[in-house]
Amino acid sequence: MQPVSRYPGKSVLLHWLVAILIIAAFALGTYMTDLKISPTKLKLYSWHKWIGVTVLALVAIRLLVRLFSTAPAYPDSMKKWEKQVASLTHIALYVLMFAVPVSGYLYTYAAGFPVVYLGLIELPSLITPNPEMKDSFKELHEALTTGMLLLVLLHIGAALKHHFIDKDNILKRMLPDFSNKE
């Protein structure tokens, strides 16, 4: 199999869609939690849940694409420990991209609210309403979200370091390729 220099187009598309949705979910979640209860707040909570469910589905697809495609190798200029940290960060990000929406889902159901995707499809309840567990799931969701935020910032910082300081192709291999190869 030929070594590849960049991620396949579908991986790039999924990466950036998920990135945009995670940023939107984080911004929305941060904003909505301080609002007083109102129809607007309830609408924002619904949107936040819809984004979370969408992220969960896209990450599942992304993981399947990743398992069945070849990723570009790290540049030879990277030190062994840098490659290990990069690999561990990617694994942790995948775990968190599943765990954050699932913890929010569990928090929602523990609080006694359904998740109705796009206002059309009620998702199955994995747990019954449980006021005793609600706060624990909320704290878990917040802690996992904070962990994801820190890893995303590390990921972005590393990509920018590789692009501007190391001047290697790490960032370029995940950017959309708009060149016309036909």
Looking at residue 182, what is its pLDDT? 45
* Range(s) of the domain holding residue 135: 9-174
Q: Do 111 and 129 meet the contact criterion of CB atoms below 8 Å apart? A: yes
Looking at residue 3, what is its pLDDT? 72
How many domains does one find in the chain? Answer: 1
From first to last of the 182 residues of the chain, give the pLDDT tens digit: 567 889 999 999 999 999 999 999 999 999 999 999 999 999 999 999 999 999 999 999 999 999 999 899 999 999 999 999 999 999 999 999 999 999 999 999 999 999 999 999 999 999 999 999 999 999 999 999 999 999 999 999 999 999 999 999 999 999 998 775 54
In a domain, 84, yes or no: yes
Residue 80 to residue 88: CA distance in whole angstroms: 12
Read off the pTM: 0.92
Looking at residue 180, what is its pLDDT? 55
Looking at residue 90, what is its pLDDT? 95
Q: Do 91 and 66 meet the contact criterion of CB atoms below 8 Å apart? A: no
Looking at residue 181, what is its pLDDT? 59
In a domain, 180, yes or no: no
Looking at residue 178, what is its pLDDT? 78
In a domain, 63, yes or no: yes
In a domain, 2, yes or no: no
In a domain, 140, yes or no: yes
Q: Dump pLDDT digits (tens) for 7-58.
A: 999 999 999 999 999 999 999 999 999 999 999 999 999 999 999 999 999 9
In a domain, 56, yes or no: yes
In a domain, 16, yes or no: yes
In a domain, 182, yes or no: no
Looking at residue 162, what is its pLDDT? 94
Looking at residue 179, what is its pLDDT? 72
